[in-house]
Amino acid sequence: MRIAAALLALVLATGCSAATAAAPTTSATADAPLMVSEGGVLRPIENGSRLSLRSGYATVRLWPSPEDMDPNLQVGLFDAAGKPAVANVSVVAEMLDMDHGTETATGVLRDGLYQMHLSFGMQGRWRLVVHIARDGAEEILTLVLPWVGF
């Protein structure tokens, strides 16, 4: 069932915004509960994966899990040397199955991570668009959660 949901997410969410992430940094299976959009193409990633940015990298983690209805999102930002980077971080959450509008959360820096609480109103597929603004430029990471609440 999870593989079918992941394949459905691949087919239906190809219109996702392009992420700036480059080559995969972790191995993941096709039924991963978290996917990243790179150039409109979704690929599964492990929760907590390292994703490339123009001037460094980010880590993205949902806990207690990506399938949870009320998860916390943690985004770590690092420069090219691996040192923590400062930015304005926010996320826009949107359900892909039904139009419920969007929910925006702003990251609060705690313990070196930008932390946000999310609350998904329904089970289903959700898109998270993470906005990272620093040094006068914005980068976007687009994540898809193929089966929240199942």
What tokens does 5 get? 């949901």
Q: How far apart are CA 93 and CA 86, in angstroms?
A: 22
- What's the pLDDT at 21? 35
Task: Pick the closest to residue 121 from 101, 136, 137, 107 (CA basis).
Answer: 101
Question: Is the backbone of residue 109 left (phi > 0), alpha (psi -120 to 50) or beta?
Answer: beta
C-alpha 55: how far from chain center: 18
Q: For the segment 44-68, what is each residue's pLDDT rounded down to a tens digit?
A: 999 999 999 998 999 999 999 999 9
Q: Higher pLDDT residue, 33 or 145? A: 145
% of the chain exceeding 70 in pLDDT: 79
- All structural domains of the chain, each given as residue ranges with its CATH number in brackets, are 2-148 (2.60.40.3340)
**Residue type, position 130, single letter:** V
pLDDT at 16 over 70: no
